[in-house]
Amino acid sequence: MTETMLGRAALVVALAAAVSAQAAADTALTPFKASGEPPAPWHVVGLPGQNAQTKPFTQFSVVELDGRKALRVEAVQSFANLVHPVKWAAPTATLSWQWRVDEPVPNADLRVKHGDDTALKVCVAFDLPMDQVPFVERQLLKIGQSKTDDPLATANVCYVWGAKLPIGTTLDNAFSRRTRYIVLESESSGTRQWKTEKRDVNADFKKLFSDESPDKVPPVTAVGIGADSDNTKGHSLGYVADIVLRP
């Protein structure tokens, strides 16, 4: 190989590395470094039309716990997600994090509407083309979007503490199939203990949404952390730390 060819090869490698680094910088999740309010662009998102008078918002704050900065998530008859928008162009995506539940939601049961609460959930939003969404749900999405300035995801994969459901259970959200659950932890996991998770989010999308998008995984548009206790009128407390999205 000539010196010129070597130089060009080195330039291509350098450019590729720069593009990869820029992509990582553009899509990385902002870490929880300082106590207090979660850092931007993390922001709280409620249900379409929700306000403090109609339904309380789940509370989020960054605290020091067990020698690490963690997001404290407390639900008191409330609903909300803390959402981080992303622009994800990588063909694969791995999401890793640590979490613990100190107080689970009493009487939670994700199989029914009156029990559809969870002490902790980590969700990944996908930009599934609207024409692949079933007609009735498409109309409901349009109605919901008219009531909020926050974009509504057409497909959500949510990893949850599933109360009494067996670990590994997959199921649809009781209110909308736009959100589908994978139970990673349950009451049998124990409370006040850190658990480490690592998920291939593309593989999980294929597993849960194969009926609507069997051949292609759409781009990831956001990652969210949430808890809700509005349906059971209960209370929960949990923590999430070291959440990272990477190729």
- For 61-77, write each residue's pLDDT tens digit: 999 999 999 999 999 99
Sequence-distant (6+) residues with CB within 8 A of 108 are: 115, 116, 117, 118, 119, 163, 164, 229, 232, 234
Q: How many domains does the chain have?
A: 2
Please identify which residue in the block is written with the tokens 């990944």: 124
Sequence-distant (6+) residues with CB within 8 A of 48 are: 144, 145, 146, 147, 148, 152
Q: With cut-offs at 50, 70 and 90, classify the pLDDT of residue 15.
A: very low
Please identify which residue in the block is written with the tokens 């599933």: 162
- Say yes or no: 41 and 23 in one domain: no
- For 27-48, write each residue's pLDDT tens digit: 479 999 999 999 999 999 999 9
229, β-bridge pairs: none
Q: What is the distance in angstroms between the CA of the first residue and the CA of the last residue of the chain?
A: 32
- For 95-147, write each residue's pLDDT tens digit: 999 999 999 999 999 999 999 999 999 999 999 999 999 999 999 999 999 99
- Say yes or no: 120 and 7 in one domain: no
- Say yes or no: 44 and 133 in one domain: yes
73, β-bridge pairs: 60, 238
User: Is the whole model's pTM more than 0.85, yes or no?
Assistant: yes
- Say yes or no: 19 and 36 in one domain: no
User: Please, are residues 124 and 244 in contact by the beta-carbon 8 Å criterion?
Assistant: no
Sequence-distant (6+) residues with CB within 8 A of 57 are: 44, 46, 50, 78, 79, 80
- For 197-212, write each residue's pLDDT tens digit: 999 999 999 999 999 9
Residue 49 DSSP SS3: coil
- Say yes or no: 61 and 149 in one domain: yes
- Say yes or no: 107 and 172 in one domain: yes
- Say yes or no: 128 and 66 in one domain: yes
- Say yes or no: 102 and 48 in one domain: yes
Task: Compute CA 230 distance to the chain's CA centroid, rounded to the nearest angstrom.
Answer: 19
Q: Which domain covers residue 19, as residue numbers?
A: 1-30
200, β-bridge pairs: 94
Phi, psi of 233 (to 5 degrees): 60, 40
- Say yes or no: 183 and 86 in one domain: yes
- Say yes or no: 88 and 180 in one domain: yes
- Say yes or no: 119 and 152 in one domain: yes
User: Which CATH number covers residue 39?
Assistant: 2.60.120
- Say yes or no: 26 and 61 in one domain: no
